[in-house]
Structure 1
Amino acid sequence: MDFTEILNNIQILMLPVIVIIGIEFLLITLYYFLYARKQPSNQIKRLIVGAIFIGYIVFVLELTVIGRGTSHYMQMNLQPFSGYIDAWKKYSLRELQNCLFNIAMFIPLGLFLPFINAKWKAFKWSFLIIFSATLAIETYQTLSGAGIFELDDLINNSLGGIIGYQLYMLGASIVHHKKVKVKSLIGNLAIPLLMGLIFIGMNIVYAQQEFGHLAINAYTKSNMSEVDVSTSLELSPSPTVAPVYKKMKKNDDVEALLQEKLGLSELRTRTFRDDRELLLESPTGNQYTLFISSEGQWSLTENHYTAEQASSNKPMMEEATALMEELALLPQDAELTVSENGLFEWQLLDRPDVNMNYWSGEVRLGLKPDGQIYSLANDFHQNQLVREVNILSPFEVYERIKNGEFPQIKYNALVQEDELIIKKGDQINVDAIELSYMYDTKGFYQPIYRVSGTFNGKDWFTLIQARK
């Protein structure tokens, strides 16, 4: 779930919270005018804080308890900081967002507690409530199957509560002393400052690395002490090398190309992180959506048109070829295939073992019966040779399998998560170890090994980074 999805879900969940707080405020207003006009104002303030606190509790329960499924019965992840480790190994903002969201969710709890009860101004009592609350949620989730008991969640929620408590103490210090004291500021912001320094350090380390990270390295080592691993392959232990490539992205001039060649004009632009979506219009008034990905791909689609309308027409080979030559999108040697609905596809097969720069990918063109474009998608890109690197030998790859240093990949949608857990008595037979390639987080095309065979008699495969 990315940040935009989180915000959309929060907006949906906030509706019942707003209704509850609104009802509470209405009751507080009635209470004030009917009974408490002459009462101390602190009482009304406590009621208002209490009303907001109840709304916050409802919001947290919506996120963690109410309406969740029951597909994770008695599942636990007791590895500390596993979320941060996965985010680092994948270098994934999405993974990190989940960790930070779990921290942010409990910051209000730490802020509210000292307001509600003077006794809870003592750190030990606030922390006890914060820790007990997150422990109760995690325990409920694992017993009911509504979620996985994760030690990371316990740590992050507690950390968020502590940050909230420290923000309260900082505010109380400013109110009491009528100024910001440096000692109080540093002391109460120590945790977020430390986290900020850690994240900055991680980014510096990442920037200094030549290559990026591979998502397949985000795994927990399996215990293979009583697992039978076998192979009939003759595995070479000899050192070997393989090339690494860099994916060259080029989509900055897409709008200019389409405006010049197709006469499309821009009506509106929207940006999603590094991706862009443009609304374009042709001279005849037809509107198109152009999506330009930060990964280098782009697609143009006519709005309100379906390809089925062209299904009864013969493919227009000459028109399609002439149009693609005019757009100058096709590398040499691209293979053309044609479907019956006026869709043409040119493809270049991947050739990562050529030890030189090469093009790969595909471009798809959809034409209407009158020869006009209804869709155009370009995923051609150049893989630029960087250098050769030392890689594991097949024998070393097999040793990694024997040592449990590989990810268990969900190779079939019907496979359950518990079926992928390596346990005593399991049998793995390796039938093939083949060199393949995968893009890393910096856009480098790195060599990997695809290891295939059987796991407890069923087809199985895994992927292992080849570069040493």
Structure 2
Amino acid sequence: MSIQEIFGKVMVYLAPAAAAILALLSAAGLYLLLQRKKHGAGTWQMSRLHKPFIGVLLLGYLLVVFGLTGLSRTANYAGATNFHLFSGYMEAWNNYSIFSFQLIVFNILMFVPLGILLPLLTGKLSRFRGLFAASLGTTLLIETIQLVTARGIFELDDLFHNTLGSVIGYHLYMLGTRIYQERRLRLAELTKRLAIPVAIGVLFFGTHLVYVGKDFGNMRIHPVYGTDMSGVTITTSIPFSHTASTSSVYKNEHSLNRKRGQAIAHQLQDKLGLPPIEWEGRDGANLQFHFKESDGTRYIFTYFVLDGSWDLFDDHYHPEEHPAAVAAHEARAQAEAIMKSLALLPTAARMTVTENGEYDWRLPEQAYSPRDRWDGYARLSLKTDGGISAIQYGFMSNRYVRDVPIMSPTEALDQIHKGRFDQVYAFRQGDQLDITSYELSYVYDTKGYYQPVYAFEGVVNGENLWLLQIDARR
């Protein structure tokens, strides 16, 4: 979830919360005026409105929190739980980017106001023990509601982060209270109250330094939880070599180059005659551009920052609603002219027509060897009137870096036996996995290095296709 998505969801529930707060405060103000008229200005004290005012703010805040954690999702998480503490950190590390840690930080910051409002509401919660219990109880209630309504995952990480945020808020409250009472700021008090956020900042900064110092990036295919294989029978009829060897590592020439994404978006607009760009933002770690709606079209361009691939499609086009109108030879010529105008294809790329009428450009088969290389494909889909329905561009230019030692296929198979991978759908007791093939392939790491992996294929219980990638590097 990107920062824009988080902010958008906050605004959805902030508006009704603000309206509720305003209505309750208006009612409280009217009540005050009536009391002043009835009893006289000198007999009514403003301090009596302190707790109702804080209570209203707390109510509005909880409305936003419950909206974000429950109402903003559909009921697609029936029985979903995650009792692996700190698994979010492992997942964020494997997928390292500016956005990979944002959900952790957001879950902490979201509960900072709770740690401030609760002790303001009642003196009983101005002691740490009471505040901690109330904060833990609140976040436990939220996680339980998510589990019962199937609108979220019950996660230990969320319990930890939300409670930690409340504790930070409590220390900020205590710091502010001490400054107000003593009319001065003591270094010892400041150090004590800001120790947790400073420690978090040091931890994240240290993590970044470790990442920057690594020769290569992190592999997203590395396991976070692992898979229980104790009840699974693994069979195969293919031979696995015991010989370890070396393989090349490459670097994508366009990895993390956001300016290239912007340039291609404007190039598409110019060469293809697309409407002006009306919105530019992020889709997770990637860039996204929306072209202004025109003549029934709504083109969306997404640039994948990690490897430099991209796609463009008309979100309003549905082929079944349009009868065929362009002859095959005319469409082929149109497709070739469109891609030629963009001047992005490798010179060796050759076009073929797929069974469903799409136009594919691919490179001749080539071995993985220590030289700069192109990989990937491009695909163009045309509308029935000859216009563009979608373009997918996946050609990637990779520069040779060096050779690295890799494990043998037998060692990679052993990783599967030990469950050192993550499985989207868990195996069940008695499942049988038959591995039918494997090959040495490549995937990008988080720094844009093209690293060797073993790509396995198999069948579960004789019918369900099973795919897995295992990091081949030692």
TM-score normalised by length of structure 2 = 0.82
Letter in 2 for 1:24: L
**Separation in 2, partners of 1:149, 1:278:** 35
Are residues 132 and 328 of structure 1, via their aligned partners in 2, closer, same or farther at CA, if it must alter by over 3 Å?
Answer: closer
Q: Where does structure 1 lack aligned partners over 5 or more consecutive residues?
A: 411-416
**Separation in 1, partners of 2:58, 2:300:** 45
The answer to whether residue 146 in structure 2 is matched with residue 135 in structure 1 is: no
Task: Find the counterpart in structure 2 of residue 464 from structure 1.
Answer: 470
The structural deviation recorded for 1:407 is 1.9
DSSP 3-state at the match of 2:14: helix
Letter in 1 for 2:91: D
Letter in 2 for 1:163: I
Letter in 2 for 1:139: T
**Separation in 2, partners of 1:306, 1:226:** 46
Letter in 1 for 2:408: S
Aligned match for 2:415, one of 392, 400, 421: 400
**Separation in 2, partners of 1:350, 1:185:** 64
Superimposed CA distance per residue, residues 392-436 of structure 1 (whole angstroms, 9 cap, x where no aligned partner): 21111121122111221x4xxxxxx4xx1454x443333323222
Q: Where does structure 2 lack aligned partners over 5 or more consecutive residues?
A: none
Are residues 350 and 95 of structure 1, via their aligned partners in 2, closer, same or farther at CA, if it must alter by over 3 Å?
Answer: farther
Superimposed CA distance per residue, residues 220-263 of structure 1 (whole angstroms, 9 cap, x where no aligned partner): 13344454333333322111222222222173754786798779
The structural deviation recorded for 1:322 is 5.7
**Separation in 1, partners of 2:35, 2:364:** 80
Superimposed CA distance per residue, residues 178-219 of structure 1 (whole angstroms, 9 cap, x where no aligned partner): 233222222111111111111111111111112112222133
The answer to whether residue 280 in structure 2 is matched with residue 270 in structure 1 is: yes
Q: Does the 8 Å CA contact 1:434/1:451 hold for their aligned counterparts?
A: yes
Are residues 289 and 129 of structure 1, via their aligned partners in 2, closer, same or farther at CA, if it must alter by over 3 Å?
Answer: closer
Are residues 261 and 214 of structure 1, via their aligned partners in 2, closer, same or farther at CA, if it must alter by over 3 Å?
Answer: same
Letter in 2 for 1:64: T
Letter in 2 for 1:156: H
Relative to structure 2, which stretch is displaced further, 346-355 or 265-274? 265-274
The structural deviation recorded for 1:158 is 0.7
Task: Find the counterpart in structure 1 of residue 171 from structure 2.
Answer: 166
Are residues 313 and 243 of structure 1, via their aligned partners in 2, closer, same or farther at CA, if it must alter by over 3 Å?
Answer: same
Q: Does the 8 Å CA contact 1:352/1:437 hold for their aligned counterparts?
A: no
The structural deviation recorded for 1:3 is 1.7
**Separation in 1, partners of 2:315, 2:458:** 46
Are residues 361 and 401 of structure 1, via their aligned partners in 2, closer, same or farther at CA, if it must alter by over 3 Å?
Answer: closer
Are residues 263 and 167 of structure 1, via their aligned partners in 2, closer, same or farther at CA, if it must alter by over 3 Å?
Answer: same
Superimposed CA distance per residue, residues 117-158 of structure 1 (whole angstroms, 9 cap, x where no aligned partner): 112111111111111222233234334544332111111111
The answer to whether residue 342 in structure 2 is matched with residue 330 in structure 1 is: no
**Separation in 2, partners of 1:429, 1:246:** 34
RMSD: 3.7
Alignment of 1:81-120 (within 5 A): 81-120=86-125
**Separation in 2, partners of 1:293, 1:405:** 28
The answer to whether residue 392 in structure 2 is matched with residue 387 in structure 1 is: no
**Separation in 2, partners of 1:228, 1:377:** 39
DSSP 3-state at the match of 2:305: coil
> Identity rate of aligned residues, in percent?
35
The structural deviation recorded for 1:329 is 2.6
Are residues 187 and 359 of structure 1, via their aligned partners in 2, closer, same or farther at CA, if it must alter by over 3 Å?
Answer: same
**Separation in 2, partners of 1:148, 1:15:** 26
Letter in 2 for 1:355: P
The structural deviation recorded for 1:168 is 0.6
Q: Does the 8 Å CA contact 2:363/2:376 hold for their aligned counterparts?
A: yes
**Separation in 2, partners of 1:5, 1:45:** 35
The structural deviation recorded for 1:81 is 0.8
**Separation in 2, partners of 1:269, 1:150:** 35
How many residue pairs get aligned? The number is 455
Are residues 323 and 129 of structure 1, via their aligned partners in 2, closer, same or farther at CA, if it must alter by over 3 Å?
Answer: closer
